[in-house]
Structure 1
Amino acid sequence: MNSTLALLVIAAVIATASAFGVHTPVSGVSNGSGMTMRARECDLLGKKPNRQARVVTFSHKRNKKVQHVNLQTRKYFSDELGRSVKLRLSTKGLKTVEKYGGVDAAAKKFGLDLKKF
């Protein structure tokens, strides 16, 4: 008897939440287009946004701010894979690829599997 009452209460809560436009999170489900969101992160170096930054105003108030990574999308041809690879790299990552003479050498140095891209 208690379990049926609990189920009715849960069903009422879900119905009320959906009536007011509240979305309940469901894990493992992507959006309707089949695409998944990627983090703002450099594929090669792993640079992430700095969330500890502050802005100091004229009145010396301190406000939090996010310093994002300068990400650039580039296509490189991988000789090992025999195809093009599309990467989201920071500008430092672009310099690193140039330094090592290609995307294959840079990926080998930093342990990046290019088959995923």
Structure 2
Amino acid sequence: MSRYCDVTGAGPGFGNNVPWSKKKTRRRWNVNLQTKRYFLPGEGRHVRLRVSTKGIKIIDRDGIEAVVQRLRKEGKKV
């Protein structure tokens, strides 16, 4: 399972670790993903989403119905 947010599409960032000696090694910054279960009142069922903390705030702001509708419009299965 890849580390991408279902709502925002945010993925890991890549870069270098640079210590005091300036010897660079590759590293990655993972997204803060949470597995959340939301209830869809229009369909009478729950959906499970892997969302970042920013995605949780977007769902709180817009509502789960609007977010699921947007995901389906993009062609994602929910």
Q: Same fold (TM over 0.5)?
A: yes
Q: What is aligned with 1:84? A: 46
TM-score (norm 1): 0.58
Larger radius of gyration: 1
Gaps of 5+ in 2: none
**Partner SS state of residue 86, structure 1:** strand
Partner Cα distance (1:98, 1:61) in 2: 43
Give the structure with the higher percent strand: 2
Gaps of 5+ in 1: 1-37
Runs (4+) of structure 1 exceeding 2 A deviation are none
RMSD: 1.6
Give the structure with the higher percent helix: 1
**Partner SS state of residue 71, structure 2:** coil
State the identity as a percent.
40
Structure with more contact order per residue of length (Cα contacts < 8 Å, sep ≥ 6): 2
Q: What is aligned with 2:64? A: 103
